[in-house]
Structure 1
Amino acid sequence: MASKLKQLQSKAGQASQFLSKHGTAYYKQLMEQNKQYVQEPATVEKCSELSKQLFYTRLASLPSRNESFWKELDYVKNIWKNRKDMHVEQAGIAALFGLECFAWFCAGEIVGRGFTITGYHV
């Protein structure tokens, strides 16, 4: 256990050194590349306005998202009705999609338990 702690401390020290050497240059490069997205002056009022714009823009997109959802659901219902005509490739894609959904569910459960498999903290 002590050796793992030393390893972790060593890795943390290396990461800290890397950030202290290269962090400022990376920050400057990132800000230069994305300067068109920066609002000047950065006031509380402007930030509040942008936050409201984002919220209401997302809210306005709900009807089109809802419509897309129902189209997808109708497509799945149609495939299910005609499942006898389904090809092996389509069945494989559906199985992979189901497996992916299950994997995301499991990953979400693990994250929700604090990144533990059993739910018990050691």
Structure 2
Amino acid sequence: MKKILFFLLISANVFTFAQQTDKEDIKKAIKKESIGGRMDFSKMVEEKYSYAPLIGFGNTLYNKKDFAILLWGAKVKNLGIESLDETNKLWEEIYKRTLTDSERKALKTGFETKTRIRQMF
């Protein structure tokens, strides 16, 4: 019985470590791709909506910068970051500044959306 309990404790510990490692790998990839990479949605938004001053999503209109942040939040959630606070901190770490109120709302909307990024673009 002690051997089984010991095995279960070791297995749980290894599983937790693997999850943390995976999460760190995801964060590294997000950091790498957010500026100038596949997660730099500001370029994509500018190309697709170059004619539009505002972009509608749900019942809200967003400027291009905030809409790009909304898309980034949705993508981060889809990649497996489960905490909105963690997502806010990650964005601020990448862009080296604090989110404004409107940016924070856009990030939250993107993070909470059920739509996958692939369906949006």
TM-score, normalised on structure 1?
A: 0.32
Q: Which protein is bigger by CA-based radius of gyration?
A: 1
More strand by share: 2
- Using CA pairs below 8 Å that are at least 6 residues apart, which structure has the higher relative contact order? 2
